[in-house]
Structure 1
Amino acid sequence: MKILLVIFISGLLFFSYGEDDFEKYLNEFQQYKKEEIEAYEKYYKELMKEFEEYKRIVYEEFERYKKEISRYWKEPEVSTKKKWVEYSEDYKIKKAVDFEKGEIRVEIIDKKKPSKKEIAKLLMDLITEDTKKAFERDKLSRRIEKKIVKKAKHIKTAKLKRKPILMGVILDKKKPEPKNLSKAVVSLLKSGRLVEKPSKVKGEKVYAFKIKLPPKRFMRKAKEYKPVVLKFSDRYKLDHALVYAIIHTESSFNPLARSPVPAYGLMQIVPSTAGKDATKIIYGKPVLLSPSYLYDEEKNIMIGTTYIYLLYYKYLKDIKNPLSRLYCTIAAYNTGAGNVARAFTGTTNIKRAIKIINRMSPSEVYDTLIKKLPYDETKNYLKKVTKRIMLYKEI
């Protein structure tokens, strides 16, 4: 359509201005396009350098953070995709929430055994904590953000909202009354047990208190994110159950999910891959995404669903069978479209792979992916996501 419009306008200009003027116009137009391409190439090179700097900063800050933790703890436990770990300012109190296993741990390094009142206070703080407060307490993410914002010109940040992290899981209510919160903490205290362990700090011990999260935690978290998931799955004509299944498999609904790749948030967005491709659609050009941006649940799901859309409706659009295309999209979300092609051709040539895929049934495509994908992680990922899609059909 754009080409036809240019030809039409060009024809009008030819008859309006004459041959000499038309040639001048074409030269000017070609010069403009050349300058536009050169400007984008320059921008893209700058952005790639910034991505590399981002990775370097993440690695350095991870190592620095782990060293600081190691001064007090035998194992430097940090947040992962499925686990949120938070330390007090002096590193002597550790709160860990394992969303996958459904477990809360509160550990204290001290000379004397903590009272029930002290543990209750820590549990109350954890239950009422929101993403804004969590980010403010997160030394590692704040350091990474501060450094990359100074170094990068093309970066998006966000102001995090006061969205409760665990309250809906524990109480299944958005705004419970204070008396309900107190009852919940008392109930958690009764269900847990305090254990004494050796400490790395001389003259002190580790006191660990462990409790279980409710078994319906995944469904409760899924309902919390329902408005956002529906908003973007509808926008991109995606099955909402697919989006939920990917969130479940990527982070177990941990909004503060993090890995050293780096990847952040519910849908584990990697700024240099999914983030780069999705932001080109959203902002008109690729940009860097900071930790604060990707810890914002709405922005994270927006980026994740945009990337699924790109995979399903753009990169893999020529796969004719919708189910075959779905299997390939799920695998590609984890490992990239090039590695999906490897399962069928031994190369990253997507066009060649699609020709082979179109000669196969969906079950044959699935079996080939499970047998020949380059990484076991992606094979297991495909199994988990396809199984979990059915879990979220009713939401």
Structure 2
Amino acid sequence: MNINSPIRIFLVFSILFPVYSQDTFEEFIKQQQQAQQQAFEDELSEFQNYVAEVTSQYDAYEQKQAREFEAFKKEVEEKWQDFKAPSKKEYVEYDDDLDSRASVDFEKGEITVEVIVEEDIPDPVSQPVNKVENTIPKPGKKQPSKLQEVAQKKKKVNEQKSLKSIIEKTETPVSQKEKSQQRSSAVKKEISDQKLQRKLADILKTKGDDGKTMLNKQVVDKKGKTVTPATAKAYASKLVANAPVATKTYKAKDGKKRTVYTVKVPMKSDHINTRADRYKQEVLKQSKRFNIDPIIAFAVMETESAFNPKAKSHIPAYGLMQLVPKSGARDAYLYVYKKDKFLDGDYLYKPGNNIELGCAYLAKIRHQYFKSIKDDERAYICAVPAYNTGIGNVAKALVNQAKLKPASQKANSMSPDQLYKKLHKDLKYKEARDYLERVWSRKDKYAKLAGK
């Protein structure tokens, strides 16, 4: 009996253990699933909170930019008759004192330099400093004798009498007021010329975010020599002295009367090609990386900014490929780096960053959104306007609904020419229709630059 007891206990334990073990395992699995679900929910919540935080950063940035812009605009309008803001294809900069500004039209190929001078300028002749300077003998110069002083005074009196005689004979007397006006005009001309020369030299030396001068190899002198930072000052001095200077007098909001002096400087006729070549290596590198056609990237860049590295639109979109921080740039960054990140204008002004994300965004449209379109030509006919107006609007133009699968099927059923004409006719916004036309008409000229 004592011998069989352990056997009975073992048998009972053997029978009960599997049941007990199975219950424990099922409970374990249940707990694991609950833990995984909780972890997923926590991770999702954390991700959503992070996305919300990044979104709030973008919102705060946009609001700050808008406030600063309005404050600056108001300050400028106190002095200037008009406010000139930067745009996609025009760069504008003001001096700190707001008395000078320069703008570069990268599409037209023209630099405009403007300066303002107040009309009420003190007469420099009447300033005490001039009187003091006139009484100080020049060093090393022999002083006149008493007889010589008398002779000089007599000569001066005779010259004055002679001048008076001429005025009386011609019956065109010059009043003190007129003399003051003449002196004032001469002073203002000298001040405006100096300001124009300085501002023109400054804009010729202004650097882009790639470290090169923004107008590198795009301005030449009368002899056809390229203007460099080293020759900018001499070039500006000579040009302002010989170029026509337009003037316009107005009364500003601050109540002061001012005159704006304007000089225009043409850029080289091939300025667009010069800038395209400047960014060639980066465009080819990123196009290859993201498997997109480089001629499309070049044509998009010209259409977006005319290769203006400081391009900024009212939206605002930034840089060469005009990326909007909160949408296109953010989407492209997520596509490339698999994470969300706040990107500001300073980041997007850098050509390397801008071209990387611009090409990535084109790639995402081509290879993700329109991946079902069977060939590149049709795909790019859809991708180009989508870069401007969004994929939903392209889909609506094709199938009257924002669905990519039927839109892609529709694109595949048409010839490239039919597809182009369909979108050029049915895209909702004129801007998108014009955008497609411009990019498509420009792409082929970049074949040589792209090595095709």
Using structure 1 for the length normalisation, give the TM-score. 0.81
2:211 corresponds to: 162
In structure 2, the gaps of 5 or more residues are: 1-23, 119-187
Q: 1:193 aligns with which of 237, 244, 266?
A: 244
Alpha-carbon shift at residue 226 of structure 1 (Å): 1.3
1:156 corresponds to: none
Q: Distance in 1 between matches of 2:211 and 2:229?
A: 17
2:323 corresponds to: 269
Q: Distance in 1 between matches of 2:79 and 2:399?
A: 51
Secondary structure at the counterpart of residue 107 of structure 1: strand
2:284 corresponds to: 230
1:34 corresponds to: 41
Q: Distance in 1 between matches of 2:317 and 2:240?
A: 34
Structure 2 counterpart of 1:49, one-letter code: S
Secondary structure at the counterpart of residue 282 of structure 2: helix
Q: Distance in 2 between matches of 1:174 and 1:335?
A: 40
Alpha-carbon shift at residue 21 of structure 1 (Å): 5.0
Alpha-carbon shift at residue 175 of structure 1 (Å): 10
Matches within 5 A, 1:69-218: 69-111=76-118, 112-113=188-189, 114=191, 116=193, 118-131=195-208, 160-170=209-219, 176=228, 178-179=230-231, 181=232, 185=236, 188-189=239-240, 192-201=243-252, 202-218=256-272
Q: Structure 1 pair 192/287, CA: closer, same or farther in 2 (3 Å)?
A: farther
CA deviations 1:159-204 (Å, max 9, x no partner) are x55331012322699995835x467546755884211112334342
- Provide the alpha-carbon RMSD of the alignment: 2.6
Structure 2 counterpart of 1:328, one-letter code: C
Secondary structure at the counterpart of residue 79 of structure 2: coil
> Do the aligned partners of 1:127 and 1:165 also contact (CA within 8 Å) in 2?
yes
Q: Distance in 2 between matches of 1:88 and 1:187?
A: 22
Q: Structure 1 pair 333/191, CA: closer, same or farther in 2 (3 Å)?
A: farther
Matches within 5 A, 1:207-356: 207-356=261-410
2:168 corresponds to: none
Alpha-carbon shift at residue 299 of structure 1 (Å): 0.7
CA deviations 1:301-359 (Å, max 9, x no partner) are 11111111110111111111321110111001001101111111222222232222221
Larger radius of gyration: 2
Identity of paired residues, percent?
Answer: 33
Alpha-carbon shift at residue 288 of structure 1 (Å): 2.3
> Do the aligned partners of 2:92 and 2:102 also contact (CA within 8 Å) in 1?
yes
CA deviations 1:184-230 (Å, max 9, x no partner) are 54675588421111233434211000111111001100111112111
Q: Structure 1 pair 218/261, CA: closer, same or farther in 2 (3 Å)?
A: same
In structure 1, the gaps of 5 or more residues are: 1-16, 132-159
> Do the aligned partners of 2:91 and 2:311 also contact (CA within 8 Å) in 1?
yes
2:140 corresponds to: none
Q: Distance in 2 between matches of 1:191 and 1:222?
A: 32
Alpha-carbon shift at residue 33 of structure 1 (Å): 2.4
Q: Distance in 2 between matches of 1:350 and 1:59?
A: 35
Q: Distance in 2 between matches of 1:33 and 1:305?
A: 33
Q: Structure 1 pair 200/305, CA: closer, same or farther in 2 (3 Å)?
A: farther
> Do the aligned partners of 2:325 and 2:345 also contact (CA within 8 Å) in 1?
no
2:155 corresponds to: none
Matched, 1:363 2:425: no
CA deviations 1:246-283 (Å, max 9, x no partner) are 11100111111111211111111101211121111233
Q: Distance in 2 between matches of 1:196 and 1:353?
A: 56
> Do the aligned partners of 1:265 and 1:297 also contact (CA within 8 Å) in 2?
yes
Secondary structure at the counterpart of residue 49 of structure 1: helix
Q: Distance in 2 between matches of 1:173 and 1:342?
A: 53
> Do the aligned partners of 2:320 and 2:351 also contact (CA within 8 Å) in 1?
yes
Q: Which moved more, 1:348-357 or 1:17-26?
A: 17-26
Structure 1 counterpart of 2:305, one-letter code: S
Q: Distance in 2 between matches of 1:219 and 1:331?
A: 24
Alpha-carbon shift at residue 240 of structure 1 (Å): 1.6
Secondary structure at the counterpart of residue 108 of structure 1: strand
> Do the aligned partners of 1:250 and 1:266 also contact (CA within 8 Å) in 2?
yes
Q: Which moved more, 1:296-305 or 1:196-205?
A: 196-205
CA deviations 1:146-167 (Å, max 9, x no partner) are xxxxxxxxxxxxxx55331012
Alpha-carbon shift at residue 20 of structure 1 (Å): 5.9
> Do the aligned partners of 1:109 and 1:199 also contact (CA within 8 Å) in 2?
no
Q: Which moved more, 1:344-353 or 1:181-190?
A: 181-190
Number of aligned residues: 350
Q: Distance in 2 between matches of 1:175 and 1:32?
A: 63
Structure 1 counterpart of 2:420, one-letter code: Y
Secondary structure at the counterpart of residue 274 of structure 2: helix
Q: Distance in 2 between matches of 1:239 and 1:105?
A: 36
Using structure 2 for the length normalisation, give the TM-score. 0.72
> Do the aligned partners of 2:111 and 2:266 also contact (CA within 8 Å) in 1?
yes
Q: Distance in 2 between matches of 1:303 and 1:374?
A: 26
> Do the aligned partners of 2:117 and 2:192 also contact (CA within 8 Å) in 1?
no
Q: Which moved more, 1:108-117 or 1:18-27?
A: 18-27
CA deviations 1:109-165 (Å, max 9, x no partner) are 01412465543332221111113xxxxxxxxxxxxxxxxxxxxxxxxxxxx553310
Q: Structure 1 pair 324/95, CA: closer, same or farther in 2 (3 Å)?
A: same
Q: Structure 1 pair 209/19, CA: closer, same or farther in 2 (3 Å)?
A: same
> Do the aligned partners of 1:169 and 1:214 also contact (CA within 8 Å) in 2?
yes
Matched, 1:379 2:429: no
Secondary structure at the counterpart of residue 170 of structure 1: coil
Structure 2 counterpart of 1:178, one-letter code: A
> Do the aligned partners of 1:256 and 1:295 also contact (CA within 8 Å) in 2?
yes
Q: 2:70 aligns with which of 60, 63, 68?
A: 63
